[in-house]
Amino acid sequence: MRAVELTPERPVSTMAQLGATAESAGFDTAFVSHHYNNRDQFAALTAIAGETDHIDVGPGVANPYETHPVTLASRMATLDEYSGDRGVFGVGPGDASTLANLGIDPDSPLRRVLETFKVAQRLWDGERVDHDGTFEADDAGLNYDAGEIPVYVGAQGPHMTRMAAKHADGVLYNGAHPRDYAWASDRVAEGLGERPDHRGDFDFAAYAAVSVAEDGDAAREEARFPVAFVAGGAPPPVLERHDIDRSAASAVGDAVSAGEFREAAGEVTDAMLDAFCIAGSPGDVESEIDAVLEYADSFVAASPLGPDVERAIELLGEMD
Among 272, 279, 291, residue whose Cα is nearest residue 316:
279
Distance CA 288, CA 266 (A): 24
Residue 69 has pLDDT above 90, yes or no: yes
Please give the tally of structural domains in the chain: 1
Domain at 310, CATH number: 3.20.20.30
135 located within any domain: yes
308 located within any domain: yes
133 located within any domain: yes
The pLDDT score that the predictor gives to residue 67 is 95
> Per residue in 176-199, pLDDT tens?
999 999 999 999 999 999 999 999
pTM over 0.85: yes
229 located within any domain: no
The pLDDT score that the predictor gives to residue 290 is 97
The pLDDT score that the predictor gives to residue 215 is 98
136 located within any domain: yes
Residue 156 has pLDDT above 90, yes or no: no
Residues near 164 by beta carbon (within 8 Å), at least 6 away in sequence: 152, 153, 155, 170, 171, 188, 191
26 located within any domain: yes
- Can you name the residues that pair with 137 across neighbouring β-strands? 131
- Peptide bond before 61: cis, by omega within 30 degrees of 0? yes
240 located within any domain: no
225 located within any domain: no
Distance CA 316, CA 310 (A): 10
37: domain range? 2-214+278-317
> Per residue in 71-128, pLDDT tens?
999 999 999 999 999 999 999 998 776 777 788 888 899 999 999 999 999 999 999 9
Distance CA 259, CA 233 (A): 14
Q: What is the mean pLDDT of residues 270-295?
A: 96
